């Protein structure tokens, strides 16, 4: 009998054991997806990396097609759905701004935002909610600064993002309407830049279109939407999940408070161990027959990959279920692999380092204001994350 995906409704940060059972027995297995029928699911580390890196697996071939998938809507043309060399044409327009070296220059700004958020929390007194005061404002402020979204217009897009990524709760019509709203929002800023040029990232993209013809008008607007959404939703939730995990495992938190040098490896290890996505996404279609993980994926068949499962493959990670800040080599693929490797990874890493490092340095006795099992998580969303994190100190 064909296994039906998802195996269960996402439960906090728990990875359904079916992933790891499949990884042991059939690292590329045939499953029924919620939309578009049946396809392959890769769970082994080597197999997942191969699918992500091998140009015989195409993202572009899924655009507008009713392929096996978890999203209620068909794939839209955007950078996440493009193959080389088209993908590189867009990516290189912004890649420089997201290098580790350039992102380091934003660390001071991130520190300011975190300090201000923690000042507010302190003034307000316990209990305080970290999600609304720290986790959301930090990535939103940084990506909006980079793109050039004016301070007064930063509240509008979060509701649309909620609908856009509500794979389990939004209807296809609602998702399309949310995307249209986001496109209208960015299009307004693009028009503004045609009246008054600016030296932010949206300004640079407008220039790349108007003066150099390096991307189309539609690509320009959709790229802006993608950068805005990807720039805050994943980071805010990864940060929430990371703080939740530290509260859930107090020995980890204590080790971090006692030894601040563990901060960087801790962020990597938390990224490895936390299954950020509630379900697999971003399907790929084989352009020719490919032998992988003991099966033949036929040309035209779809493959989805679980990076969360790959990050727990015991052939790569010793005691993978254990979160270990002393883990030496940590070749996790939480930020993906291959050409689509997360553009914002250096930014996300830096934001998590600043937020987590500062939070527990300033409030070393910080703890949840409710029992850990009472922390509520979002439901029906592509990205897992706590709704609120009430804390006291």
Partner 1 sequence: MSKWQVQVDREACIGTGMCASSAAAYFRLENGKSTAVQDFVEPDELVTDAAESCPMEAILVRDGDGVVIAPEP
- The residue from 14, 107, 322, 341 that contacts partner 1 (CB under 8 A) is 341
Q: Which of 187, 345, 369, 370 binds partner 1 (CB under 8 A)?
A: 345
Write down the residue that tokens 């572009």 correspond to: 60
Q: What are phi and psi of 56, to 5 degrees?
A: -70, -15
Among the listed residues 167, 244, 335, 377, the single contact to partner 1 using CB under 8 A: 335
**Minimum CB distance to partner 1 smaller for 283 or for 386:** 283
Binding-site string for partner 1 from residue 151 to residue 190, where x marks contact by CB under 8 A and - marks none: ----------------------------------------
Nearer to partner 1, 40 or 98 (CB): 98
Question: Do the bridges between strand 28-32 and strand 3-4 make them parallel or antiparallel, or are there none, so unpaired?
Answer: parallel
| Using rule CB under 8 A, residue 338 touches partner 1 | yes
Which backbone phi and psi does 31 adopt, to 5 degrees? -135, 160
- Residue from 17, 314, 331, 380 in contact with partner 1 (CB under 8 A): 331
Residue 113, CB-side half-sphere exposure with 13 Å CA sphere: 24
Q: Phi and psi dihedrals of 106, rounded to 5?
A: -95, 0
CB 222 → partner 1: shortest distance, Å? 19
Question: Of 96 and 361, which CB lies nearer to partner 1 in the complex structure?
Answer: 96
- The correct pick among 337, 378, 381, 384 for binding partner 1 (CB under 8 A) is 337
Shortest distance (Å) from residue 239 CB to partner 1: 20
The one segment of 64-72, 226-234, 253-261, 333-341 that binds partner 1 by CB under 8 A:
333-341
Nearer to partner 1, 136 or 343 (CB): 343
Task: Identify which of residues 217 and 288 has a Cβ nearer to partner 1 in the complex.
Answer: 288
CB 6 within 8 A of CB 167: no
Provide CB contacts within 8 A for 240, sequence distance 6+: 130, 131, 135, 385, 386, 389
**What is the C-alpha to C-alpha distance for residues 61 and 58, in angstroms, rounded to an integer?**
6
For residue 267, what are its two tokens? Answer: 């962020």
Q: Does 265 bind partner 1 (CB under 8 A)?
A: no
Q: How far is the CB of 284 from partner 1 (least distance, A)?
A: 12
The dihedrals phi and psi of 29, each to the nearest 5 degrees, come to -125, 160
Q: Is 328 in the site for partner 1 (CB under 8 A)?
A: no
Residue 71 or 226 with smaller CB distance to partner 1: 226
CB of 55 to partner 1, least distance (A): 7
State which residue, 272 or 381, has the beta carbon closest to partner 1: 272
Size of the site for partner 1 (CB under 8 A): 26
SS3 track for 258-319: HCHHHHHHHHHHHHHHCCCECCCCCCEEECCCEEECCEEECCCCEEEECHHHHCCCCCCCCC
Nearer to partner 1, 98 or 244 (CB): 98
Would you mind telling me the total number of residues written for the chain in this entry? 393
Q: Are 299 and 32 in contact (CB under 8 A)?
A: no
Q: Which strand ranges, in their side-by-side order, compose the sheet holding 3-4?
A: 3-4, 28-32, 38-42, 302-305, 284-286, 57-58
Enumerate the H helices of the chain as residue ranges.
17-25, 45-53, 86-94, 100-104, 107-124, 130, 137-147, 158-164, 172-195, 201-210, 217-248, 250-258, 263-273, 307-310, 345-362
The DSSP 8-state label assigned to residue 82 in this structure reads P
Tokens of 183: 């496109």
Residues 45-74 as x/- pattern, contact with partner 1 by CB under 8 A: ----x--xxxx-------------------
Closer CB to partner 1, 60 or 393, in the complex: 60
Q: Please tell me the number of Cα atoms within 13 Å of 17 on its side-chain side.
A: 0
In the set 281, 287, 339, 370, which binds partner 1 (CB under 8 A)?
339
| Region binding partner 1 by CB under 8 A among candidate stretches 19-27, 166-174, 339-347, 359-367 | 339-347
Residue 17 vs 55, nearer CB to partner 1: 55
Touching partner 1, residues 85-104 (CB under 8 A): 85, 87-88, 91-92, 95-96, 98-101
Q: Which stretch binds partner 1 (CB under 8 A): 71-79, 158-166, 320-328, 337-345?
A: 337-345
What element of type H or E holds 368? strand 367-368
Which residues make up the interface to partner 1 (CB under 8 A)?
A: 49, 52-55, 84-85, 87-88, 91-92, 95-96, 98-101, 331, 335, 337-339, 341, 343, 345-346
């Amino acid at each position: 009998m064909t296994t039906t995906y998802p195996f269960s409704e996402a439960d906090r940060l728990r990875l359904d054991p079916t992933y790891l059972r499949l990884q042991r027995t059939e690292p590329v297995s045939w499953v029924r997806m919620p939309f578009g029928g049946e396809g392959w699911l890769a769970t082994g580390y080597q197999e997942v990396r191969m699918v992500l890196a091998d140009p015989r697996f195409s993202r572009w071939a899924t655009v507008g097609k009713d392929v096996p998938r978890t999203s209620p809507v068909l794939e839209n043309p955007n950078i996440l759905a493009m193959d080389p060399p088209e993908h590189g044409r867009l990516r290189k327009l912004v890649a420089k701004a997201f290098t580790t070296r350039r992102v380091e220059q934003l660390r001071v700004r991130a520190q300011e935002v975190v300090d201000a958020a923690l000042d507010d929390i302190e003034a307000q007194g316990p209990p305080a909610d970290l999600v609304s005061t720290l986790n959301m404002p930090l990535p939103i402020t940084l990506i909006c600064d980079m793109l050039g979204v004016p301070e007064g217009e930063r509240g509008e897009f979060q509701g649309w993002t909620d609908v856009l990524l509500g794979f389990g709760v939004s209807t296809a019509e609602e998702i399309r309407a949310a995307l249209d709203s986001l496109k209208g929002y960015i299009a307004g800023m693009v028009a503004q830049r045609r009246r008054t040029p600016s030296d932010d990232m949206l300004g640079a993209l407008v220039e790349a279109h108007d003066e150099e013809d390096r991307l189309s008008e539609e690509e320009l607007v959709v790229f802006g939407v993608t950068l805005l959404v990807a720039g805050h939703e994943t980071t805010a939730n990864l940060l929430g999940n990371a703080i939740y995990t530290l509260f859930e495992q107090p020995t980890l938190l204590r080790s971090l408070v006692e030894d601040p040098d563990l901060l960087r490896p801790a962020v990597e290890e938390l990224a490895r161990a936390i299954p950020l996505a509630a379900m697999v996404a971003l399907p790929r279609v084989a352009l020719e027959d490919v032998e992988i993980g003991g099966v033949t994926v036929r040309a035209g068949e779809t493959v989805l990959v679980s990076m969360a499962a790959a990050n727990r493959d015991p052939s790569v990670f010793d005691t993978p279920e254990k979160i270990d800040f002393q883990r030496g080599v940590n070749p996790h693929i939480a930020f993906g692999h291959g050409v689509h490797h997360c553009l914002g990874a250096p930014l996300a890493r830096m934001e998590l380092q600043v937020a987590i490092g500062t939070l527990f340095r300033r409030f070393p006795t910080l703890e949840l204001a409710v029992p850990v099992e009472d922390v509520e998580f979002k439901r029906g969303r592509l990205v897992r994350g706590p709704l609120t994190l009430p804390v006291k100190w």
